[in-house]
Amino acid sequence: MENNKNIDWKNLPFGYYPTDYNVRCYYRDGKWGALEVTSSEYISIHMAATALHYGQEAFEGMKAYRGKDGKVRLFRWEENAKRMRKSAEGIMMAEVPDELFYEAITRAVKMNADYIPPFGTGAALYLRPLLFGSGPQVGVKPAEEYMFMVFVTPVGPYFKEGFKPVPIELVRDYDRAAPQGTGHIKVGGNYAASMRPADRAHQEGFASILFLDSKERKYIDEAGPANFFGIKNKKYITPQSSSILPSITNMSLEQIAMDIGLTVERRPVAVDELDTFEEAGACGTAAIISPIGRIFDRSTGKEYGYGPIAGPFSTEMYIHLRAIQEGEIEDKHNWTSVVEGV
Ligand SMILES: Cc1ncc(COP(=O)(O)O)c(C=O)c1O
């Protein structure tokens, strides 16, 4: 594909890069209006909007990939649409119907076709659907008006120096979400709560953080903005917890793990079990898999090591999932959908 914008795809960071258009839609008087296309990067909302005061806000993160065959594919978009509906339900926002979600993401992709990175660069077009309470309230109650929008931005390859394990810091003095709170939905407050320990970990030389369950501090919870998994004895093991976001990547890796002959266990994973894994990783849309080289328990000083190179199963699963997303191998679970006309 031609690069009309002279973008250095391979060196793009995972950050905001302006594109030409975004799409928006308003919920008023109990119904969604028509999608609007705009080239403005700004939104105008009421100063008493519930999103600004009470955190009535949810988002999604997904990617569109240009395949070897030139086609552009979305990966399991229905799962993102469903998760956004769950997020809306969890904090009493108007739900975005799947048809509207699909129309918005595909329009945003098509209108910004020049920003879809070519196959082979490792880069992709990141899609950010966003839903928030735009109507005013002063008391703590849900807004009566909502805004749904989708913007896209090209993001570079996650591993610029190859698929290399990263160090992670286990934190016991911060919690991301409560067991009966909002950890299982993708609302902004969860991310605000994770910033301080994440920033400290970065300053201390770690790539990310590992939270424990906030009730007993005994079980592995979320791995920063990703799910955790460990591998041992040909088993793919990932935590079960009410405060973890159901990762679409993790769900897919569970299937791929089975496809390549591993058994899958989703159950509480005690911290002590970290010592027994042969491989460990964090998974999510941004990186697919971030192999974990070591986990440092900041409070106890204990360290769990998994070696300086990614393990064989993590590597195989990573290659496999990427190949499905980029249309290189058969998509036997029907996970991808081609965006026609780009
Ligand atoms: C807290 C959290 N957990 C897990 C994930 C991974 O989810 P997915 O695989 O759907 O991207 C994300 C990011 O997307 C996240 O923000």
The rounded Å distance from CA 288 to ligand 1 centre is: 10
How far apart CA 15 and CA 271 sit, in angstroms, is 32
Active-site position among 10, 186, 232, 332: 186
Whether residue 218 lies in the annotated active site: no
Give the mean model confidence (pLDDT) for residues 155-177. 91
189: left (phi over 0), alpha (psi -120 to 50) or beta: alpha
Q: Is the pLDDT of residue 182 over 70?
A: yes
Q: What would the DSSP string read from start to end of 102-158?
A: HHHHHHHHHHTGGGSPPTTSS-EEEEEEEEEE-SB-SSSS--S-EEEEEEEEEE--S
Domains of the chain plus CATH, in order, are: 9-155 (3.30.470.10), 166-325 (3.20.10.10)
Q: Is residue 245 in contact with ligand 1, taking CB distance under 6 Å?
A: yes
| Residue 65 near residue 59, CB atoms below 8 Å | no
In which residue are the tokens 């959908």 written? Answer: 337
* Band (45; pLDDT cuts 50, 70, 90): very high
Residue nearest to atom 3 of ligand 1 (CA): 226
Three-state DSSP state, 84: helix
Average pLDDT of the residues of the chain? 96
CA of 331 to the centre of ligand 1 (A): 22
* Extended strands (E) in the chain: 22-28, 31-32, 36-38, 57-59, 62-66, 72-75, 124-133, 146-155, 166-171, 208-211, 227-232, 235-238, 263-266, 279-284, 288-297, 303-305, 336-339
**What pLDDT is recorded for position 23?**
98
* Any atom of ligand 1 within 6 Å of the Cβ of 248: yes
Q: Which atom of ligand 1 is nearest to the CA of 285?
A: 11
Q: State phi, psi for 52 to the nearest 5 degrees.
A: -75, -30
Q: 270 C-alpha vs ligand 1 centroid, how far in Å?
A: 21
- pLDDT reported for residue 2: 47
Give residue 245's pLDDT band: very low, low, confident or very high (50, 70, 90). very high
pLDDT digits 0-9 by tens, 48-100: 999 999 999 999 999 999 999 999 999 999 999 999 999 999 999 999 999 99
- Summarised one tens digit per residue, pLDDT across range 289-331 is 999 999 999 999 999 999 999 999 999 999 999 999 999 999 9
Q: Cβ contacts of residue 34 below 8 Å, gap of 6+?
A: 25
pTM: 0.97
Question: Which atom of ligand 1 approaches the CA of 60 most closely?
Answer: 14
Residue 3's pLDDT is what? 57
Residue 196 to residue 210: CA distance in whole angstroms: 13
CA-proximal residue: ligand 1, atom 6 (nearest): 284
Query: Are residues 219 and 239 in contact, defined by beta-carbon separation less than 8 angstroms?
Result: yes
Q: What's the CA angle centered on 166, arms 161 and 169, to 5 degrees?
A: 155
